[in-house]
Amino acid sequence: MTCAALLTVACGADDPDPPVLTVTARAARLAPVGTSTPGVVPTATGSPASAVHTPATPTASGMPEPPPTPTVTPPTAPTPEPLRAGETAQVVRVIDGDTLVVRMDGTEHTVRLLGIDAPELGDANGQAELADQAGAALAALAGDGAVTLIAGDEPLDDGGRLLRHVVRSEQIFSVELARQGFVRAHEYTPNTPLYGAIADAQHEARDAARGIWAPPIPGLAMVVDKVAETVVIANDGGASVDLSGWRLVSLRGPQAVQFPAGTVLQPGATLTVGSGSSQGDIAFGQRYVWHNERSDSAELRRPDGRVALFWDDPVAG
């Protein structure tokens, strides 16, 4: 029986005791990010100058003169942009894990912290409690004292909020929240200074399973094909993984699909989640889910909202 057939049996809305969906079919292995797609011929870019044939030029003696040796300049790593001079503000209150209100010159301003994204208050996809914890973590950092606000190249968002790094006593709030595991690193172009430090702090939190990050499951992997509107979850580990009640979430939407009770991914098996016209073992209810021109990362969340797998979209913005 195919995965799709098994799923159809397990998802019957009128069946009070749905049978177990055990995904055992082996599909194509997940290709590492950056590998070529079958049927697509890669286009060479950045070829070295020595790969271009230059005809030899005859000399007065009749012997061809060898072409000049090309000079290849190795690329240099970009220099991190230094932080700009900051503004002093007084913290008034915290709204959520990445937003607070400050007072400057007698006027209150809403500040959106740069480089991070916290779970949303009232999240319907399992992270409401984690959102409260993220807000409490920011409140503990902010207190009610003075902070320094540091702007990037884009000082305001579309809603008029100040886009700032918030610092006190050389402690950068975004980096510390990421280290505690309460937020995700998010690169908001062109406000990219400190993103590397935030991403490093996030990796530390994920490795330690802090905050929103669940302990990793050996062999479990996920790849999103935004153009094809498919997500493939693979189990290359040695034990089955019970995905009952787990949610796959598109962070930009946020659209989500919850896996039915009895969804079990056996060792060596893959599970495909489709949307739009894409066929899969499980389907989103929406026609279009993944944004092709802007960043749209994906999370596979346990029933308690903690993130078991995270697919970081390489498209920035």
Active centre residues (catalytic): 112, 120, 161
**CA-CA distances (angstroms) from residue 313 to 122, 149, 231, 263?**
25, 28, 13, 26
Helix %, strand %, coil % of the chain (to 5)? 15, 30, 55
> Is the CB of residue 270 less than 8 Å from the CB of residue 26?
yes
d(CA 233, CA 30): 9
Strand arrangement, sheet containing 298-301: 255-258, 247-250, 298-301, 307-311
Contact 51, 67 (CB under 8 A): no
Side-chain-side CA neighbours of 104 within 13 Å: the count stands at 13
Handedness of CA 134, 294, 188, 109 (dihedral sign): negative
